Amino acid sequence: MTRPRRLVRRTRRLEVRPLRAGDHARWRDAHRAALPKRNAWDRGRREEDALARARFRALLRDQEKRRAADLFYDLAVFRRDTGEFVGTVSAMDVLRGLSQSAYLGYFLVNRHWGRGYGKEAVRAMLDVAFRDLRLHRVEAGIEPGNRRSIALARSLGLRREGLKRRAVFLRGRWADLLMYSATCEEFGISWRGETRPRAV
């Protein structure tokens, strides 16, 4: 039997957990306070309409539905000292069956870049992925020009496995992805081979 999934982590400076209804104001304020777009992978400031309470509720419903289907897990990242929303870390496109794997996603509001929050939050997500979700392998697909993301993957000790050609349709073209990966054993976690964890 698998353990129920907690999907919550407290690290030295951050709290990582699913978004809740009461988070709307800090989620909205963090996006409002974003700096102008800093690189091609950044979202910069969002339109005010996209930050409305109704849109946030729809986002929560969508996230809950995808978690319940064991397909996609978005976890919000908050600073523990100020409570600010910092960003999102994700286990995307979960595959069970023979591979027990997912893609790793991460995005930080750009005011918080360069302070090690990315590393701290993604490390927590890896722990969630390997322990709570019982995944065996995670992969990050990074466009070759995304230096910050490559630096983050390397600093986490992910293994560079090669270039996947014309892998995803992004910004109007088929983009190559550098693949970085890790398995649970590399993070000191043994995988017992259950085929599918219980729903949250």
Task: State the minimum distance, in angstroms, from the CB of residue 9 to ligand COA.
Answer: 15
CA distance 183 to 169: 26
Instruction: By CB under 6 A, tell whether 27 contacts ligand COA.
Output: no
* 3-state secondary structure (DSSP) of residue 185: helix
Which residue, chain included where needed, has tokens 């591979």? 99
What separation in angstroms does the CA of 87 have from each of 3, 34, 102? 27, 11, 19
Provide the minimum distance between the beta carbon of 141 and ligand COA in the complex, in angstroms, as a whole number.
7
How far apart (Å, rounded) are the C-alpha atoms in residues 137 and 130?
8
Which residue in 6, 80, 115, 159 binds ligand COA (CB under 6 A)?
A: 115
DSSP run (H or E) holding 47: none
What does R_g of the chain's alpha carbons equal in angstroms?
17
Does the footprint of ligand COA cover residue 157 (CB under 6 A)?
no
Query: Closest CB to ligand COA among 4 and 44?
Result: 44
Should residue 180 be labelled a site residue for ligand COA when binding is judged by CB under 6 A? no
- Least Cβ distance, residue 194 to ligand COA (angstroms): 29
- Which residues would be at the binding site for ligand COA (CB under 6 A)? 41-42, 106-108, 113-119, 142, 146-149, 151-152, 155
